[in-house]
Amino acid sequence: MRRALLVDLYALPEYDLSLALGYLKAFADADPGVKASWDIRLLHLPVATPPGDVAAAVAREAPDLVGFSCYSWNIRAVEKALTRLPASGRPLVVLGGIEVTPDPAGYLRRNRNADLVVFGEGEETFREVLQRLAALPPGPLGASALAEVKGVCWRDGRKERRNAARPPIADLATVPSPYVTGAFGPLLAGQDRVMVETTRGCPYTCTFCFEPRGFARVRSFPADRVKEEMRAIAAAGVREVAFLDTNFNMDRKRAVEVWGFLAGLPGRIRYAFELRGELLDAEQARAISALDYFAEIGLQSVHERTLDTVKRWYDRARFTNGVRALLEAGIYRPCAFSAHGGASVDLMMGLPGETAADFLRSWDFVFAVGPSTIVITMTKILPGTELGGEHAKHGYVFDEDAQYEATSSRTLTAAEARDLASFRDASDWVYNRVHAVRTLAFTAQGLGIPPSEVVLEIGRLLAKSGRRASDLGPAELGPLLAEVCRARGKGDLGEKAVEKLSAENTLVALQRYRESKRTWWSRFVFAAGYRLLTGIGGLPPLPGPPPAAVRGEEPAMAATA
């Protein structure tokens, strides 16, 4: 029996179990011939593992074939590990994944120790690779046996030969769940967090994303399979499940059905979803509010010209109402502190044609909507995307060794990009971690400026002093707010802002207590504390109103926030 070793160099320690590798093993093992011919093993290592240690771990398994799962965050680590593999007795080296799919021949040219690249959806291709290789006589394996396998680019002497592409799997019911089949073996035991998908593909055509290029048609796993998979995950004692569907609520009826099923599972599991804000409605909000959840809602920008350029749509009123309905339906209220739960809105800096001022206006809109957190990323010029193919048109400069992150564009200078990076870090501290949302709104109103300008000034002060926002807590925010106010000639306002921050910090502590306990007593304590803070404690009001009609007023939202 031959041995295949599948390797994942993971970036996030909380998600150290590769769903992609689990799929490959489960799908291949389902074929009796492959199961009888190959012993498929999985190896998970941190992306920071020294290249020599990765090579040594591979050598200890003595595989006939080793495959690496390649993404933007680990491709450089994979390439370095390849150079440390021994020249003699080396296994057949396979690269696969979304990073190498757009240019498989290019990655073979760059990495002389790699023998072939599996591009596109991998389950059927990997199984056929193993079937073809199993038919070879004992001894070292050669890629020439794969000349007719779709979805493979292989090395033929000094040439790279790219075979025909393999179409996506038509029926996802044929893909076994690695959680149900036991493909992960003992790796699943004691695992806190895992990833799941109920669909593949995306109907949208955002130019910065690879998904529509590879899988424009949305395909769904059968609902019964999803439920069976989730029962197995719950039985394993998993505490957090991240659903990888690009738009979980695209099919509203299916989303509500799955959420209802999840609510009935034993134990307390936190679920993470990517949702489309414009598609949210009251029924969905009620269904998901029965869960301990985290919802990531992509917005990216509010500017029509930008969204037209990246082929993305957005409806201001529907987005606002959808997000606020989601927040108001459960414990994660508008502008309320949440420990990794609630609803997050995503924004992108440096989109084509956008200036720094454009981005800040988008941030101010999201601030008024009041999500649990605001997640900011710099635009990435990913290989194989439409934006990647036309980056020169927009004057992009980007860093291939930093996951293709843009460092400047025709409308954003390098200095402005650095300024926005400081803003991003300050926003994460002030809004997401300290959650000084009310105090920030109070300060901005007193200064007569948008909230984003206050955060921008805080970011600049931190950058100038060399301090990192990630190292700071609530105690350090008050002096910075006071400094921003003094610089604008309003020292008295700064003193008041510090007092407001103290009241809001108390509110955050009450919210944290209520969220962690979720009992009638914790709700009573929160309500009593909230009344005191608003009555005599100096708690500032919520920011707003959002720039679109929303349900509810300040007292109704805040009383159970």
The predicted model scores a pTM of: 0.91
In a domain, residue 155? The reply is yes
Q: Residue 520 corresponds to which amino acid?
A: W
Residue 213 confidence (pLDDT): 57
In a domain, residue 199? The reply is no
Cα separation of 482 and 439, whole Å? 12
Cα separation of 556 and 332, whole Å? 14
Residue 86 confidence (pLDDT): 87
> Does residue 552 register a pLDDT over 90?
no
> Does residue 14 register a pLDDT over 90?
no
Q: How many domains does the chain have?
A: 1
Q: What percent of the chain is modeled with pLDDT above 70?
A: 96
If we measure between CA atoms, which residue out of 433, 424, 444, 558 comes closest to residue 500?
444
Q: What percent of the chain is modeled with pLDDT above 90?
A: 84
Residue 340 confidence (pLDDT): 64
In a domain, residue 269? The reply is no
CA 75 from chain centre, in angstroms, equals 18
> Does residue 523 register a pLDDT over 60?
yes
Q: Comparing 109-118, 210-219, 313-322, 455-464, which segment has the lowest mean pLDDT?
A: 210-219
In a domain, residue 219? The reply is no
> Does residue 548 register a pLDDT over 90?
no
What distances in angstroms separate CA 358 from CA 211, 306, 314, 474, one per listed residue?
Answer: 26, 9, 16, 29
> Does residue 558 register a pLDDT over 80?
no
CA 432 from chain centre, in angstroms, equals 16
Task: Give kind and range of the element (H or E) at residue 56.
Answer: helix 51-61
> Does residue 271 register a pLDDT over 70?
yes
Average pLDDT over every residue of 70-97: 94
Average pLDDT over every residue of 457-476: 96
pLDDT band (50, 70, 90) for residue 336: confident
In a domain, residue 125? The reply is yes
pLDDT band (50, 70, 90) for residue 516: confident
In a domain, residue 107? The reply is yes
Per-residue tokens: 106? 């290019």
Q: Write the secondary structure of 400-432 as one string of H (helix), E (strand) and C (coil).
A: HHHCCEEEEECCECHHHHHHHHHHHHHHHHHHH
Residue 537 confidence (pLDDT): 84
Residue 545 confidence (pLDDT): 61
Cα separation of 50 and 468, whole Å? 27
DSSP strand E in 301-393: where?
A: 342-349, 373-378
Domain that holds residue 12: 2-162
DSSP strand E in 350-469: where?
A: 373-378, 397-399, 405-408
Q: Between these two residues, 213 and 26, which has the higher pLDDT value?
A: 26
Vertex 296: Cα angle to 291 and 297 (nearest 5): 120
In whole numbers, what is the pLDDT of the chain averaged over residues?
92
In a domain, residue 45? The reply is yes
Average pLDDT over every residue of 300-325: 94
Average pLDDT over every residue of 304-333: 91
Place of tokens 């492959």: 34
Cα separation of 444 and 497, whole Å? 10
Average pLDDT over every residue of 176-201: 94
**CATH of residue 156:** 3.40.50.280
Vertex 104: Cα angle to 101 and 110 (nearest 5): 130
pLDDT band (50, 70, 90) for residue 560: very low
Residues in Cβ contact with 400 at an 8 Å cutoff, skipping those fewer than 6 apart:
none
Average pLDDT over every residue of 179-204: 93
> Does residue 555 register a pLDDT over 50?
no
Residues in Cβ contact with 81 at an 8 Å cutoff, skipping those fewer than 6 apart:
9, 51, 54, 55, 58, 68
Residue 212 confidence (pLDDT): 58
Average pLDDT over every residue of 410-419: 98
Q: How many other CB atoms are there within 10 angstroms of residue 554's CB atom?
A: 14
Q: Rg for the chain (alpha carbons), in Å?
A: 26
Q: How many other CB atoms are there within 10 angstroms of residue 348's CB atom?
A: 22
DSSP strand E in 55-109: where?
A: 65-69, 92-96
Average pLDDT over every residue of 345-354: 98
In a domain, residue 153? The reply is yes
Cα separation of 296 and 277, whole Å? 9
Q: How many other CB atoms are there within 10 angstroms of residue 536's CB atom?
A: 9
Q: Comparing 213-217, 296-300, 338-342, which segment has the lowest mean pLDDT?
A: 213-217
- pLDDT tens for residues 203-253? 899 999 987 555 668 999 999 999 999 999 999 999 999 999 999 999 999
pLDDT band (50, 70, 90) for residue 561: very low
